[in-house]
């Protein structure tokens, strides 16, 4: 149904396709009957609301633990639930990306998910101090788990790839499963703490103009205690609210953030070529059908704009994630930064140009527990996504929030007969414009319009312009 052509995804009519989506992720080692029952009861309501907001693709996340709770024993109940979900999407014309999700590799690390218990017996239970992602930065067992995966210790990677052959066989008859995202946010080998400490050192230097050595706090095997001592040392350097605001202002800058991220590629480039490239080439041999798109993500630290490239295979699609530095923290509402995110998205664009590959943003956005200032930030990010002509999948779409949906429920070109020149939506003036070149009139151009649905437009050979007030 779909194929890649340079930096575009095209359909059977040769139309350039854009997808707008949401992540729905089931981060469980085992789905309870109660949760499955609730989804059976409410799925129509949820999917109808998403359709009303122009969602035409869902990244459906689930864990290895839920599918294969015992080695070579697959949970039919979980597969049946996922098929039920995909069927409900098919009824509404919603495409699906299958995503074997992981965070921190497994649930032994608190707030983590992914690998089943029979894979993770070698690792100790660990919990963070403040935010869920800390395990990536200093917990040695988290790093060891990823090292074991990438080096295929005890055939763990081979067993994961085998799981994908089972997944593809189960979903081979589901035509709306158009893409496979084989591994969420792959963590690099060996150097995670080095990257984290370099980030901290650079941020203190840029934000406070003070030298700092984060590494010393993790010496002698210290983990949580080292993180706490490091955080206290930084707090003492900041000391006052005035200095905190000065620090936050200093790092809310495109060039300043580039200096914070600078030099990190030395810790990631070997991983990309030595470990990730052969993995994605091997696992992506598994496809539900010959037209299935193979999504590859960049490594976890490239979420911050660290350069990334691999060699491309057939129908590969780059599916990066991008979040502001303060995502998942109390600072996100007031201090999310357009400048920092522009740097990250500019870096992703450079990666795309080097690889000459389509982009489906697999995760972006976020939300805050209090306030709605962050909505202006995601509006800005969406404008950059439009400028780059990327498909995108939001984490997590708050269709109940009217201020959010006023910004996010906007027109977009679903299927364009030709090549898009540019398109954009202005959420304030409620005006949309699309220009494109049509060289062969094979099928109508389709634009999603709020409250109207998918509207067909006829084409003329040459440049076409569509303008919509919504």
User: Which CATH number do you get for residue 172?
Assistant: 3.20.20.80
User: What number of other Cβ atoms are within 10 A of residue 24's Cβ?
Assistant: 23
Three-class secondary structure assignment of 19-88 = CEEEEEECCCCCCCHHHHHHHHHHHHHHHHHHHHCCCCEEEEEECHHHHCCECCECCHHHHHHHHHHHHH
Rg of the chain (C-alpha set)? 22
Q: Are residues 331 and 403 in the same domain?
A: yes
Asked if residue 46 is part of any domain, the answer here is: yes
Task: Tell me what the pLDDT averaged over the chain comes to.
Answer: 97
Q: Which domain does 433 fall in, by range?
A: 410-470
Asked if residue 243 is part of any domain, the answer here is: no
Q: Is the per-residue pLDDT at 240 higher than 90?
A: no
Residue 437, H or E segment: strand 431-438
- Mean pLDDT value of segment 76-102: 98
Q: Are residues 137 and 114 in the same domain?
A: yes
Q: Is the per-residue pLDDT at 46 higher than 90?
A: yes
Q: Are residues 401 and 341 in the same domain?
A: yes
Q: Are residues 327 and 454 in the same domain?
A: no
Q: Please tell me the total count of domains within the chain.
A: 2
In the listed set 363, 379, 408, which residue is the last one of a domain according to the structure? 408
Instruction: Look at residues 164, 168, 148 and name the one whose alpha carbon lies nearest to residue 64.
Output: 164
Please report the pLDDT score of residue 410 as a whole number: 97
Q: What percent of the chain has pLDDT over 90?
A: 95
In the listed set 379, 408, 437, which residue is the last one of a domain according to the structure? 408
Contact 66, 78 (CB under 8 A): yes
Contacts of 235 by beta carbon, 8 Å cutoff, 6+ apart: none
* Token pair of 420 as six digits: 């898009």
Which stretches does DSSP call E strand in 383-418?
A: 391-394, 412-416
Q: Are residues 37 and 151 in the same domain?
A: yes
Instruction: Look at residues 138, 140, 142, 84 and name the one whose alpha carbon lies nearest to residue 113.
Output: 142
Q: Are residues 384 and 428 in the same domain?
A: no
Partnered with residue 98 across adjacent β-strands are 60, 180
Q: Are residues 430 and 386 in the same domain?
A: no
Asked if residue 220 is part of any domain, the answer here is: no
Please report the pLDDT score of residue 329 as a whole number: 87
In the listed set 388, 408, 428, which residue is the last one of a domain according to the structure? 408
Asked if residue 221 is part of any domain, the answer here is: no
Q: Is the per-residue pLDDT at 452 higher than 90?
A: yes
Q: Are residues 426 and 468 in the same domain?
A: yes
Q: Are residues 89 and 25 in the same domain?
A: yes
Q: Are residues 422 and 353 in the same domain?
A: no
Instruction: Look at residues 408, 388, 402, 404 and name the one whose alpha carbon lies nearest to residue 448.
Output: 408
Query: Distance (Å, rounded) from C-alpha 269 to C-alpha 179?
Result: 26
Q: Are residues 422 and 381 in the same domain?
A: no
Q: Are residues 364 and 437 in the same domain?
A: no
Q: Is the per-residue pLDDT at 302 higher than 90?
A: yes
């Amino acid at each position: 149904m779909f194929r890649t052509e340079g930096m575009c995804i095209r359909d059977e009519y040769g139309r350039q396709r854009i997808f707008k989506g949401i992540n729905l992720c089931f981060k469980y080692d085992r789905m309870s009957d109660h949760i499955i029952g609730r989804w059976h009861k409410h799925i129509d309501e949820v999917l109808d609301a998403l359709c009303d907001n122009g969602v035409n693709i869902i990244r459906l996340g689930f864990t290895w633990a839920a599918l294969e709770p015992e080695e070579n024993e697959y949970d039919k109940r979980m597969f049946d639930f996922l098929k039920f979900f995909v069927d409900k999407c098919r009824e509404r014309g919603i495409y699906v990306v299958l995503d074997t999700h992981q965070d921190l590799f497994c649930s032994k690390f608190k707030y983590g998910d992914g690998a089943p218990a029979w894979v993770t017996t070698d690792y100790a239970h660990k919990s963070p101090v403040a935010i869920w992602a800390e395990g990536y930065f200093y917990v040695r067992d988290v790093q060891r788990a990823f090292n074991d995966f990438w080096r295929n210790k005890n055939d763990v990677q081979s067993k994961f790839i085998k799981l994908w052959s089972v997944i593809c066989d189960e979903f081979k008859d589901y035509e709306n499963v158009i893409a496979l995202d084989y591994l969420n946010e792959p963590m690099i080998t060996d150097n995670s703490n080095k990257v984290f400490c370099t980030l901290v050192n650079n941020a203190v230097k840029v934000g406070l103009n003070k030298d700092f050595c984060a590494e010393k706090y993790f010496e002698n095997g210290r983990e949580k205690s080292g993180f706490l001592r490091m955080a206290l040392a930084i707090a003492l350097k900041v000391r006052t609210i005035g200095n905190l605001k000065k620090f936050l202002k200093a790092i809310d800058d495109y060039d300043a953030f580039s200096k914070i991220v600078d030099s990190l590629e030395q810790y990631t480039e070997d991983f990309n070529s030595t470990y990730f490239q052969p993995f994605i080439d091997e696992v992506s041999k598994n496809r539900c059908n010959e037209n299935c798109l193979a999504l590859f993500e960049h490594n976890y630290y490239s979420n911050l704009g660290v350069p990334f490239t691999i060699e491309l295979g057939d129908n590969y699609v780059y599916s990066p994630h991008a979040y502001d530095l303060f995502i998942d923290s109390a600072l996100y509402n007031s201090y999310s930064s357009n400048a920092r995110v522009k740097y990250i998205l500019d870096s992703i664009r450079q990666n795309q140009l080097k690889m000459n590959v389509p982009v489906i943003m697999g995760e972006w956005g976020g939300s805050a527990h209090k306030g709605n200032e962050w909505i202006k930030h995601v509006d800005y990010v969406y404008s950059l996504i439009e400028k780059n002509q990327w498909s995108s999948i939001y984490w997590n779409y708050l269709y109940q929030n009217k201020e959010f949906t006023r910004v996010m429920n906007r027109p977009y070109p679903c299927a364009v007969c030709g090549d898009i020149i540019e398109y954009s939506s202005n959420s304030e003036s409620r005006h949309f414009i699309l220009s494109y070149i049509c060289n062969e009139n094979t099928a109508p151009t389709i634009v999603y319009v709020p409250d109207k649905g998918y509207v067909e437009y006829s084409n003329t050979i040459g440049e076409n312009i569509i303008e919509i007030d919504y």
